[in-house]
Amino acid sequence: MHCGMCLPTCPTYDVTKNEKHSPRGRIALMRAIADDKLELSRAFGEEMSYCLGCLACETACPAGVDYAHLFEVARSDVERSGVMASPTRSTVHSLVLRGLFTRPRLLRLVGRLLWLFQASGAQSLVRALGLTRLLPGRLRELEPQTPRVLPRFSHELIRPVETPKEAKRYRVGLLTGCVQDLLFADINRDTADVLLSNGCEVVTPAVQSCCGSLHAHNGEAETACTLARRMIDQFDPFTSDAIITNAAGCGSHLKTYGRLLAGDPAYAERAAEWDRKIKDINEWLVEIGFRPPEAPAGHGHQEVREVTYHEACHLCHGQKITKQPRQILKSIPGVKLVELKESNWCCGSAGVYNITQPETALILQKRKIGHIGASGAAIVATCNPGCHLQLANGLEQSGSNIRVIQPVTLLAQAYKN
């Protein structure tokens, strides 16, 4: 069916008004290639790169087309066909995607070095001296957006097993992520705290690998499967009540392990169980009936009042989780939730999109920052590290004082008070 209801929700169609850059158009291309009516060419590869993978089309589609799956397969086919091959691309894919992001200890080392570079003042010096001009084109443009690495990573903040003070109701695994671990380990700590405050025993292995979302979304299907297997080995779904993720972008992919490994007899059963157990933190809290906090978040004049909410694409479209984060925000005394205009329109972060498609990412970022500014809120809440960075960067660039905080952090603060 090609009714076209996806078109008005597609950010790339909105910008170009060109059917080629719409979900309906992309699917038509995929279908033509599958039917041998069209060759898989560079034009197709570029088109699939241009697609954000935001899945707004899935939400709009009356017929329930599984665009996420089609998108992954298409990107994987593009990768295998080599139509987009270039020395840079091959290097990045082999060194970064297949090399770095499959080795958690190495990734941590790189993170640690970056922290050192930043904390020692070296980064400021390099920038002040204009040495970043020595970087190749794209890296030079992106350099100012380099996120701040925190001094301590998740394994230094969270013990492998933490038990709640009151009666234990559940036993859950906590995923610390890759990017999340390096940049937002404090949010992982907040997640653990919130779980503990709700009767959950939290199991957090010290060394965890990337979940493979990055790989699945960028055409590295085999590596994605390898990482899925590793995850399942590390977190036995049969002995946990739930396995918690606090990164929307990952959560969406994590819930597809069942399909990913359905053909592997050694993992199929566990992968199916994994799908049932994997939960976004907001989803889980509402499911178990979280304890509403009695105190507000923040202190005195820093008390959190007007909050607006940006919906991470992979949470609202990819996982259909829309009510729960709002419920959590509204449960905090003093919080007034202001609805954000186009709250579910992509912010442009889209995984590595602001590296691969910086112009479009910027257009989307500006649009989002505009709405956040107009909302009148002092805080914008979101549930994904990618979005978090994109919003924080955008707000800083626009000279705004609005802060970006995740709902689970606000809840943790409220519990502490």
* Interacting residue with other proteins among 36, 37, 105, 401 (CB under 8 A): 37
- Check binding of 43 to other proteins (CB under 8 A): yes
Residues between 57 and 96 with contacts to other proteins, criterion CB under 8 A: 62-64
d(CA 21, CA 7): 9
Please name the residue that has the structure tokens 């993992």.
Answer: 267
Question: Site for other proteins (CB under 8 A): how many residues?
Answer: 26
Identify the bridge partners of residue 201 per DSSP, sorted by sequence position.
Answer: 171
Q: Count the alpha carbons within 13 Å of 367 in the hemisphere toward its beta carbon.
A: 18
Those residues whose C-beta lies under 8 Å from the C-beta of residue 36, and which sit 6 or more positions away, are none
Q: Which is nearer to other proteins, 15 or 378 (CB)?
A: 15
Residues between 4 and 33 with contacts to other proteins, criterion CB under 8 A: 4-5, 7-8, 17-20, 22, 25, 28-29, 32
Task: Provide, rounded to whole angstroms, the least separation between the CB of residue 3 and other proteins.
Answer: 5
- Check binding of 1 to other proteins (CB under 8 A): yes
Q: Which is nearer to other proteins, 28 or 73 (CB)?
A: 28
Task: Provide, rounded to whole angstroms, the least separation between the CB of residue 20 and other proteins.
Answer: 4
Please name the residue that has the structure tokens 């794209």.
Answer: 138
Q: Contact region for other proteins (CB under 8 A) — 40-48, 163-171, 341-349, 366-374? A: 40-48
- Check binding of 148 to other proteins (CB under 8 A): no
* Interacting residue with other proteins among 11, 47, 52, 329 (CB under 8 A): 47
Q: Which is nearer to other proteins, 30 or 202 (CB)?
A: 30
Q: Contact region for other proteins (CB under 8 A) — 41-49, 253-261, 283-291, 301-309? A: 41-49
**Four-point Cα dihedral 235, 283, 369, 366, nearest 10:** 60
Q: Count the alpha carbons within 13 Å of 248 in the hemisphere toward its beta carbon.
A: 34
- Check binding of 36 to other proteins (CB under 8 A): no
- Check binding of 371 to other proteins (CB under 8 A): no
Residue 375 DSSP class = H
CB atoms within 10 A of CB 339: 10
Q: How far is CA 235 from CA 207, 227, 400, in A?
A: 12, 12, 41
- For 407, the enclosing helix (H) or strand (E) is helix 407-416
Q: Which is nearer to other proteins, 17 or 165 (CB)?
A: 17
Identify the bridge partners of residue 336 per DSSP, sorted by sequence position.
Answer: 306
d(CA 66, CA 58): 7
- Check binding of 2 to other proteins (CB under 8 A): yes
Task: Provide, rounded to whole angstroms, the least separation between the CB of residue 30 and other proteins.
Answer: 11
Cross-sheet strand order for the sheet of 161-162: 161-162, 200-203, 170-174, 242-245, 278-280
Binding residues vs other proteins (CB under 8 A): 1-5, 7-8, 17-20, 22, 25, 28-29, 32, 37-39, 41, 43-44, 47, 62-64
